[in-house]
Amino acid sequence: MKKFVFLLVVGSLLMTTAGCQAPTPAATQPPPATQAPAAPPTVAPTKAPQVVTLRVSNWHLAEKHWEKTIKDAIPIFEKENPDIKVNLEVISYAEKEAKYATEIQAGAGPDLIHLAGYSIRNFVESGYLYDITPFIQKEPVGFLDQWYPHLVELFKYQGKQYGLPSDYMAMILAYDKKLFTEAGLDPNKPPKTWDEFLDYAKKMTRDRKGSGKTDTWGFGTVGTIDPGWELRFSPVLLSHGAAYLTPDNKCSALNTPEAKEAFKFWVGLVTDAKVVPPGVTSQGAGAVRTQFANELIAMKIGSGWTAPIIPTINKDFNIQENLGAAPMPVKAGKTLAKTTTAWYSGWMITKNTKYPEQAWRLLKWLTSKESDQRWFDGARVLSSRRDVSGDPDKGIKAYQPILDDKFSQVIQAELKNAQINPQLKEWPQIADTVNKEVQNAFTGSKSADAALKDAYDQINKILAPYRKAGETCPAY
Amino acid sequence: MRPGFTAMPVTRRKLQTTTVLAYVILIGVCFFNLLPFVFMLSTSLKTDQEAYAIPPTFWPKQATLDAYTQVIVWTNFPRYFMNSTIVSLGTALLSTVLGALAGYGFSRFNFRGRGLYMGLVLATQLLPGVLLIGPYFKLLAAVGLYNTYLGLILAFTTITLPFSAWMLKGFIDTVPEEMDHAALVDGCTPLGAFTRVVLPVIAPGMVATIVFAFLLAWGDLLWALVLTSGDDMAMVTLGLSRLVTQFRIVWPQLMAGSVIASVPCMVLYLALQNYLVKGLTAGAVKE
Amino acid sequence: MNRRLRRELSRAVRTPFGSEITGNMNQSLASKVLFRSIRLNTGFAFALPCLLLLLLVLGLPAIMAVANSFTPIWSEVKTFTLDNYTKLLQDKTFWESLQVTIIFVAYTVMLHLALGLVVALALNADIRGIWLFRIIAILPWTIPDVISGLVWRFMYDPTAGIINYFLDRLGVQNPYIEWLAHPRLALPSVILADVWRGYPFVMLILLAGLQAIPKELYEAARVDGASVLQEFRHITVPGLVRMVQVALALDVIWQFRRFGLVYNMTQGGPGNATDILPLAIYRQYFKYFNFEYASAMAVVLAAIMIVISIPYVRMMVKRT
């Protein structure tokens, strides 16, 4: 009897594995399977077009309102290009690098991927991407001028172009006008300098609801290890006149008096002035937004995503009346070229695509003017195209809806003051190092000075490959 | 073995202290285990608004099944569910069967290299999945098993099998060798002795192993993430992880999905827990 | 003796002393000889499917992973180098991670065992409604550990979390306890979350072990007048020893690999307070793309795990 049960178990197991192939529709089969009747991929489209399926992966598909914008736009492309079918794949933001890297290494990656600035350099320099220089050379002269040149550069490696920029925004100060008014501050006069900022923050850190203890704080920020951390700390460094690295990327520049001042200021917000809610080292960007939407904090550093997301967290938050946007505060008495940090993303073709020509067409379309305008309409994210985000120096006006939107217009104006963070393969590691030392300083494990010194030393170690033998960095 | 005993009723007093103690511990366990669960449940019944409220509420002021509807109807959750169930069940069965066989071999037979093989089985677990996943993925793609149930089952089995084999060996060790010796003498093949004599006795152990392997496969994220492509083959953990977007964690839906996801495990456990009953060890060796 | 036994024995006779042995054998001695004679091939045959599967599927990836720490196997240039290991030895954060990992493993395994044993004993009792308690006991384990990491993180949040909310309601003076944000509290908080999630595993193994102890032993002991404590010492403990060893060995290895929970709770912070090695390896691999360095870290971790688990393995390999 037991033997019978045993065989039954084994038998059912075999049945499971026998009928094991999932009924995947043709569109999602991995590259080795046939997708189109033997069509040589690089033939010019003079023959009757065979339908080719492109896999496009984008983390934006995980967010409801963004997914809709993307899904509504794709049919437009498919109508204009009847020989291409687009298959959208969602991926979570945190796991995208892991998945893409593994898939591309094994030759089974998607055709197009979308990455945020944080990891773009890693992918560009790791050889995972398809070189689109030949395609660009076939385009009319000045093709690459459609985007801001410093962004196009970010996708270049060893003279070859590996992708095109997509989103582009500047970090600004978002604030709650209602909390300003309640604390006796003028909601139309946001702080312009860091001293003002500190002053405002202190005034708004109080017992607002009569609970007997502080229940509202002036400022909230990201403190945990989070890719968005660098976007909140970097503006402070920049607007004090400091930088992470020396221009030649050989050493850290955190040993300058400006850097020390910026670091001490930032740490002081938590340890001395206490204008930040408790537990900052465990807060991610989402948590800070939740705090802001619940009126736990009065100010935060944010960008284009802030305005659309806040109402989904708290629908009682009146965006039109109470959400204020201000340029990043600066250090009083300093004139600086760059005072805030830029956020950007890009579209790239992966190196194992079987249909580079079709992928190129899709890439062009995804980064076209109409696409970026549609994207702003749906997602409130600005573009890296001059003809969408504007270029006053060249007399190019921005897309009107950007200028009409109170929040976005501040971002657009700050673009010229925005600095991209150092673009190295080692950037994630450098950012994490500083992040951890800020955490150590926030929690009091180390003094601000000791923490900064450790960050400085560790970054210099990380940058060792960039220095020639005999070159050393100055002491802290 | 004590000869000639008869079952006698236990004194009432003794029964009561141990029972009371058991109840106290179990009630404590209930609180400890259930608190986060109740929190998950109550969050899944909240509106988005209330889930993010600061200060938080414990019981929803406005209970709604919205999150459940969203998850079941508006996402591909049922499909993920089915995929996860098939893969986890397949993994559980495969690793328990192979593990039991291996456990019996290691336990009863002293063949050459036995210790080495046992160590090797365990050694496969020493390297983290992060390192293995790249080469393994290439292997699967080369054999054409990428994005298939069989490929996933094989992948997960390699994680669950070493532990299953070791666990079952441990259980089999507790069964006196005389029992299967007796069966052999009676004319069984070793396989027969195994299935007829040893397996019934370690049934609780088999249950533990099946549940363990199922839950391991069910809860894995990294391999599920990398070894599947597209929505049709995605698994539950993957579907849930997508609710952690770049901007926020969609709590009510995440909790609703997690509550639903814990159901198959409970069902499996309920179905099998009859085997976790004392007294299945009837059949002591007669000497 | 039956025909089959005679046939098998005649095969066994080919061993030295065979002819003497088969002379006058009684049943049990015959069976022992028989058993020993077939053990060489059969045992291996039993273990073969398992070994084949593991070695075929994981063998190559494992070798490649280890090789990667000595030479970058994905690039064209292949030079053998110990650079990764020397860098590792000098890396302060690696040693801190190692320390955190060992503390984490030690505490979680001990607590898993203690809690698991107590609960298994309670679930072994003959009380009404035991099935309900059994379900509740295993509940934490049915949640994937990435999810339980997120849930506990939410509960631990200083201002939005439910734990501080209860403290506030109870009138605690400063209810904004920074469970995951304070370096001293972070690791214990993470350990608590992991104990919650992980003890059912140990409990299940021990429960199964307890169930395997024949009821008759207890009843006989009661007849002889043994107290509960004596029963425990002389019946339960010896019966459970093997399973405790198994649970311990597996749990130690398991906890050294713990990743999802801590990743979603603290990402290793604040500072390095909860930065266990699997987390550091993941970061090096998938965030910094330092594949070779990550491989070296993993090899060192594996070596440590081997060293720690050798006594357990020896114990388990020994036949009782």
Does residue A364 fall inside a structural domain?
yes
Residue contact B185–C201, C-beta within 8 A: no
Output the CA torsion C6→C12→C14→C15 (10° steps): -150
Beta-sheet strands, E only, within A350-471:
418-419
Q: Give chain A's domain count.
A: 2
Q: Is the ipTM of this complex over 0.95?
A: no
pTM of the model: 0.85
At position B108, the amino acid (one-letter code) is R
Q: How far apart are CA A371 and CA A390, in angstroms?
A: 16
pLDDT band at residue A41 using 50, 70 and 90 as cut-offs:
very low
The DSSP symbol for A325 reads E
Identify whether residues A287 and A214 lie together within a single domain.
Answer: yes
Last residue of a domain, one of A316, A341, A366: A341
Identify whether residues A220 and A138 lie together within a single domain.
Answer: no
How many beta-carbon pairs below 8 A join chains B and C? 354
**CB within 8 A of A200, min separation 6: which ones?**
A180, A183, A185, A191, A218, A298, A299
Two structure tokens written together for B228: 């599947």
Residue B77: φ, ψ to 5°? -55, -45
Name residue A252's beta-bridge partners: A245
Q: Which residue in the set B150, B230, B246 is minimally distant from A93, CB to CB?
A: B246
Does residue A55 fall inside a structural domain?
yes
The rounded Cα A389 to chain-centroid distance in angstroms is: 17
pLDDT of residue C124: 84
Judged by average pLDDT, the poorest of A34-48, A152-166, A400-414, C89-103 is A34-48
Which of A8, A24, A88, A224 to mutate to probe the B interface, most B CBs <10 Å?
Answer: A24
Indicate the domain borders of chain C: 3-70, 83-319
Residue contact A278–C178, C-beta within 8 A: yes
Two structure tokens written together for C233: 């010492």
How many beta-carbon pairs below 8 A join chains A and C? 91
At position A149, the amino acid (one-letter code) is P
Two structure tokens written together for C142: 């049915």
Identify whether residues A221 and A142 lie together within a single domain.
Answer: no
Name residue A330's beta-bridge partners: A193
Identify whether residues A257 and A330 lie together within a single domain.
Answer: yes
pLDDT band at residue A269 using 50, 70 and 90 as cut-offs:
very high
Q: What is the pLDDT of residues B232-251, one digit of tens each?
A: 888 888 888 888 777 778 88
Identify whether residues A403 and A278 lie together within a single domain.
Answer: no
Judged by average pLDDT, the poorest of A4-13, B60-69, B176-185 is A4-13
Give DSSP secondary structure letters for A58-75: EGGGGSHHHHHHHHHHHH
Identify whether residues A390 and A336 lie together within a single domain.
Answer: no
At position A437, the amino acid (one-letter code) is E
> Does the CA dihedral A439-A443-A449-A453 come out positive or negative?
negative
The alpha-carbon gap from C314 to the nearest alpha carbon of chain B, in Å, equals: 8
Does residue A430 fall inside a structural domain?
no
- CATH T-level assignment (fold) for domain C83-319: MetI-like fold (1.10.3720)
Residue A471: φ, ψ to 5°? -85, 130
Which of C146, C180, C286, C297 to mutate to probe the A interface, most A CBs <10 Å?
Answer: C286
Does residue A282 fall inside a structural domain?
yes
Instruction: Tally Cβ neighbours within 10 Å of residue A42.
Output: 10
More confident residue, B130 or A232: A232
Judged by average pLDDT, the poorest of A273-282, B128-137, C74-83 is C74-83
CATH of the domain at A325: 3.40.190.10
Half-sphere exposure of B236 (CA within 13 A, CB side): 35
Would you call A249 helix, strand, or coil by DSSP? coil
Round the CA-based radius of gyration of chain A to a whole number and report it: 25
Q: Which residues in chain A have Cβ-Cβ distances shorter than 8 Å to B94?
A: 13
Q: How far apart are CA A154 and CA A164, in angstroms?
A: 9
Last residue of a domain, one of A290, A320, A341: A341
Would you call C192 helix, strand, or coil by DSSP? helix
| Alpha helices (H) in B45-174, listed in sequence order | 48-51, 66-74, 77-108, 114-123, 129-143, 149-173
Identify whether residues A227 and A250 lie together within a single domain.
Answer: yes
pLDDT of residue A129: 95
Mean local confidence (pLDDT), B130-148: 83
Does residue A244 fall inside a structural domain?
yes
Identify whether residues A58 and A163 lie together within a single domain.
Answer: yes
Output the CA torsion C89→C90→C92→C97 (10° steps): -20
Interhelix angle C3-12/C27-70, rounded to 10 degrees, is 60
**CB within 8 A of C64, min separation 6: which ones?**
B135, C73
Helix/strand/coil (H, E, C) string of A72-123? HHHHHHHHHCCCEEEEEEECCHHHHHHHHHHHHHCCCCCCEEEEEHHHHHHH
| Alpha helices (H) in C71-182, listed in sequence order | 83-90, 92-123, 130-138, 145-156, 162-169
Two structure tokens written together for A468: 């020639």
Above 60 in pLDDT, residue C14? no
The alpha-carbon gap from B215 to the nearest alpha carbon of chain A, in Å, equals: 17
Angle at C244 between CA C274 and CA C205, to 5 degrees: 85
Last residue of a domain, one of A341, A375, A397: A341
- C156 has a chain A CB within 8 A of its CB: yes
pLDDT band at residue A112 using 50, 70 and 90 as cut-offs:
very high
Above 70 in pLDDT, residue A12? no
Cis peptide leading into residue B55 (ω within 30°): yes
Identify whether residues A222 and A350 lie together within a single domain.
Answer: no
Output the CA torsion C31→C35→C38→C42 (10° steps): 130
The alpha-carbon gap from A223 to the nearest alpha carbon of chain B, in Å, equals: 15
At position B205, the amino acid (one-letter code) is G
Two structure tokens written together for C35: 């058993």
Identify whether residues A330 and A406 lie together within a single domain.
Answer: no
Query: Which is it for strands A52-58 and A112-116: parallel, antiparallel or unpaired?
Result: parallel
Two structure tokens written together for A232: 């909140």
Share of chain A above pLDDT 90, in %: 66
Identify whether residues A328 and A247 lie together within a single domain.
Answer: yes
Judged by average pLDDT, the poorest of A33-42, A270-279, A423-432, C295-304 is A33-42
- B33 has a chain C CB within 8 A of its CB: yes
Q: Could you give the C-alpha distances from C154 to A217, B52, C166, C179, in angstroms and in order?
A: 20, 10, 14, 11
Q: How far apart are CA A397 and CA A399, in angstroms?
A: 7
- A108 has a chain B CB within 8 A of its CB: yes
The alpha-carbon gap from A42 to the nearest alpha carbon of chain C, in Å, equals: 27
Q: Print the domain residue range for A251.
A: 172-341
Above 90 in pLDDT, residue A342? yes
Q: Could you give the C-alpha distances from B163 to B158, B218, C54, C254, in angstroms and in order?
A: 9, 16, 12, 9
At position A14, the amino acid (one-letter code) is L
Share of chain B above pLDDT 90, in %: 17
pLDDT band at residue A16 using 50, 70 and 90 as cut-offs:
very low
Q: How far apart are CA A452 and CA A428, in angstroms?
A: 17
Q: How far apart are CA B279 and CA A12, in angstroms?
A: 28
